[in-house]
Structure 1
């Protein structure tokens, strides 16, 4: 009987075994730590925000989903890895729009529609670049919408001289480093003795999400 197929797209994995990617799997603890660090600041509010707490909890869920993918390496675990990431992306943007519009429904809807249209356009353009062969940059182009959104948010915050710009700009800079390490994973496999650089994507990404969360909690609190 043929062994069960598994997804093999990272340097560290050489077999279908559960612990074939120990470093990639265990570094997902960084996401859980990031969520635990930020959670108390949101929980201590007099009036807690369900959306804010959900976004924070999703960072922990991202760690769990990624852990499952780097251990099970199945299509289902791949979905559990990707879905929480993009759910966080859209809910975090929704949280920002709720805060900056003071909860004005029509403004929020308009901003979200514009965001979704921009997201769809970037995904379409990335799809054109990825046609007819292996995905460029080890598949990292799929995160182009997130990078663009963070860069735009940073520019707007700087332009308005809002203190949250430090969190957004820092997160954007670290995300660029994170994407670089994700892209170099396979090409650095021999130089890193079969470890690769994907684990740095986890650690740096957890830092990015922690900064984004702390920026929203500290500098964009709900208005009374």
Structure 2
């Protein structure tokens, strides 16, 4: 495979130039802003949260990788885009099993592995319906599944998680609709995915930091 081959997958791109996707490229700053504000919240915690800090760093990498893809538009840049997102999804799933659902490490790791395998199996099927957005659908389903179980395991977190799940579905709709609106809106809608998804990642980290507090503090 030629990792330097050009990739043209978004409505806004009309040529090979570095700034052929200016809106898509610049809106990746939303991920850096999300990482910055999450870091500010992390610094205010009474104790340092290693899991949250790791996720904050990954969010920053998501912004950098996506910027590379929407400027260089090559296969290797595409890998730099999707790998940090995949790392965030599966790291967060593991930490959610541990903190939100209060499972032990080995069951949490086993469920995370199962989630990863299920995503690989479902991705191609969902891709027929949602195109390249199909790979993100299992993450949306996972948010709602964790929110459902959290009603019994961590009730204070159930509604916030479900709300983030709804926001993620909205952001996914804008990602999926990018090429569909292209004839009438040449900029496309992928940039809205960046902005909303940055908010999703920020809110997920905030929820995880809440999950590290005692129940009384979470209720407050």
Aligned length: 211
- Cα contact 2:101–2:154 (8 A) shared by 1: no
**Correspondence for 1:126:** 123
> Offset of 1:45 from its aligned partner?
2.8
Determine if contact 2:126/2:135 at 8 Å carries over to the other structure: no
TM-score, normalised by the number of residues in structure 2: 0.88
- Could you tell me whether the CA contact under 8 Å between 1:123 and 1:145 is conserved in 2? no
Once residues 206 and 220 of structure 1 are traced to their aligned partners in structure 2, the CA distance between those partners, rounded to angstroms, is 20
**What does residue 217 of structure 2 align with?**
none
Q: Which segment is superposed worse, 120-129 or 164-173?
A: 120-129
Following superposition, which runs of at least 4 residues in structure 1 exceed 4 angstroms of deviation? Answer: none
- In structure 1, the residue matched to 2:141 is 148
Matches of residues 79-90 of structure 1 in structure 2 within 5 Å? 79-90=79-90
Cα distance change, pair 186–55 in 1 and its aligned pair in 2 (3 A) = same
Q: What's 1:110 paired with?
A: 107
SS of the counterpart of 2:156? coil
Structural mapping, 1:1-224, within 5 Å: 5-100=5-100, 107-128=104-125, 130=127, 135-160=128-153, 162-192=155-185, 194-217=186-209, 219-221=210-212
> Separation in 2 of the partners of 1:118 and 1:65?
24
Taking the aligned partners of 1:78 and 1:180, their CA distance within structure 2 comes to: 20
**Cα RMSD (Å) of the superposition?**
2.0
CA distance in 1, matches of 2:101, 2:157: 15
